[in-house]
Structure 1
Amino acid sequence: MSEFPKGKKLVSIIMPAYNCEKFVDKAINSVLSQTYNNWELIVIDDASKDNTVSIVEEFSDLDNRIHFYKNEENKGVSATRNRGISIAKGEWIAFLDSDDLWDSSKLEKQMIVAERCDAKFLFTGSSFINEEGNSYKGVFEVPSKVSYKSLRNHNVISCSSVLISKLFFSNIKMEDDSMHEDYAVWLKVLKIEKFAYGINEPLLIYRISRSSKSGNKIKTLRMTYKVFRFVGENKVNSIYFTFRHVLSSVLKKYIKIKLVK
């Protein structure tokens, strides 16, 4: 039996979509399977050139909780997520990239913790799959909570695992796709909110893509450095936390995972 009390608050799920015909149906189906059912899914196509639009339109015709919008031209992930947030009707915002998946209990477990801990910013652990959907051994474990100071050392918050109060976005937006735009937002939020609360279960199934922004390690260094400068750290601190962050990411997230044969 669910522990969630009283009335269920609306969760607005933001999903940018760009040339994702291979994966988007699986992402949407993982939303449809949620045990917490008071949600709206806002899918925004960012000027795809494949069959993404027709696939998402089929889903939106079948379930009136799925709302589909199109950018007239390619805007990038930050602007697309910001547009989704501006449209959202829920008190809560969740993010799900079009190639990732959720465990069916993801939203329900987060809403229970939000109620129990009076939490306004939550995230979860992850398991991993490749582009073909094959699983990796091992999971990405997360702490029960993080602060601004601890998050500077290692970004343990995967964007597709986040559930966060919409109130934070009255003054904060995702900016600049040339950096880790979601990480910058989490740090900005944690300058306001004392903690983000983690659920140490792999409720996010994260797809590791060969074309991801973090695939090029030199590029990752630059993007991470830009995050720290963006949130107000000086140059010396930004260099220090960049190298510490990247080292932690490699050791804790990627080295331990292997494809299940």
Structure 2
Amino acid sequence: MYPFFSIIIPVYNCEKTIEETLESVLNQTISDYEIIIINDFSSDNTMEIVEKYKDKLNEIKVISNFKNLGVAESRNIGFKAAIGKYVALLDGDDVWTNDKLEKQRAVISKNNCDICCTAYNFIDSNSLMIKKTYNVPENLDYNMLLKENYIGCSTVVIKKELLHGNSMNSKFQHEDYAFWLRLARHGAKIIGINEPLVYYRILADSRSFNKFKSAKGRFKIYLDQEKFGVIKSLYYFFHYAANGIMKKFL
């Protein structure tokens, strides 16, 4: 019998955080899931820790990349291996609340949505709370996402059938944001749960920590994927920048 969720966890040198991440899966209030861990050529003790969980976690699969492919390609590998009705994404340094999947399954059953995301909190390298909760609207569409990326990657579950012929593009720094835009542009129904069900970890060496590089990556998506001209790209980039400033100071 196929599980309802396939949980895809790409890992690369996550020895300091992967145990807390896996514990948050183990403690879910529902168990109708499989776990697919994509080892992206880790060189630390990440996989030794993962091995300890094989007897604890439901239907855990490990796929090891022959070289470091990056998070986008690792998730794509997980997409192909998944057999669940919905795919849940979780990064190897983020943490779920215990009822995350249960609440998303209830929303999916009620709305038959293609994508469900949630609000989230931020934690530091020591798992201490930082910043304010990032809230999400109940209903999301393409035009809203152009101005703001409301979808946190570790909050999202996606209907598996949407992934047939769709994959993340590693040429974009924000491969997840580019992916959400493409799915939304083609009519995906997206529902948000405005309750923080994920702890998103901010690390000094993370891609999102470099604001200049992050901004440049966002602009590239408008130009190269969405095929907007410079003026239209600047219009949406202005909204992105303004939202970033408000999130920091309000």
1:31 is matched with which residue: 25, 28, 35? 25
Q: Is the 8 A contact 2:172 2:221 kept in 1?
A: no
Which segments of 5 or more consecutive residues in structure 2 lack a partner in the other structure? none
Q: Which residue of structure 2 aligns with residue 236 of structure 1? A: 231
TM-score of the aligned structures, taking structure 2 as reference length: 0.94
Which segments of 5 or more consecutive residues in structure 1 lack a partner in the other structure? 1-6, 257-261
Q: Deviations over 1:119-138 (max 9, x none)?
A: 11110000111011111253
Is residue 120 of structure 1 aligned with residue 117 of structure 2? no
Q: Is the 8 A contact 2:222 2:233 kept in 1?
A: yes
2:183 is matched with which residue: 186, 189, 192? 189
C-alpha displacement of 1:247: 2.4
Q: Which residue of structure 2 aligns with residue 89 of structure 1? A: 83
Instruction: Give secondary structure in 2 for the equivalent of 1:190.
Output: helix
Is residue 246 of structure 1 aligned with residue 246 of structure 2? no
C-alpha displacement of 1:73: 0.6
Distance (Å, rounded) in 2 between the aligned partners of 1:191 and 1:221: 22
Q: Which residue of structure 2 aligns with residue 72 of structure 1? A: 66
Instruction: Give secondary structure in 1 for the equivalent of 2:134.
Output: coil
Q: Is the 8 A contact 2:54 2:60 kept in 1?
A: yes
Amino acid of the structure 1 residue aligned with 2:91 = D
Q: Which residue of structure 2 aligns with residue 52 of structure 1? A: 46
Q: Which residue of structure 2 aligns with residue 164 of structure 1? A: 158
**What is the Cα-based RMSD across aligned positions, in Å?**
1.7
Amino acid of the structure 1 residue aligned with 2:86 = W
C-alpha displacement of 1:231: 2.8
Is residue 155 of structure 1 aligned with residue 149 of structure 2? yes
TM-score of the aligned structures, taking structure 1 as reference length: 0.90
Amino acid of the structure 1 residue aligned with 2:244 = S
Q: Which residue of structure 2 aligns with residue 206 of structure 1? A: 200
Amino acid of the structure 2 residue aligned with 1:93 = V
Instruction: Give secondary structure in 2 for the equivalent of 1:62.
Output: coil
**Compared with structure 1, are the counterparts of its residues 210 and 16 closer, same or farther at alpha carbon in structure 2 (3 Å cutoff)?**
same
2:174 is matched with which residue: 177, 180, 188? 180
Amino acid of the structure 2 residue aligned with 1:65 = E
Q: Give the aligned length.
A: 249
C-alpha displacement of 1:10: 1.7
Q: Is the 8 A contact 2:75 2:168 kept in 1?
A: yes
Instruction: Give secondary structure in 1 for the equivalent of 2:63.
Output: strand
Q: Is the 8 A contact 1:11 1:40 kept in 2?
A: yes
Q: Is the 8 A contact 1:57 1:68 kept in 2?
A: no
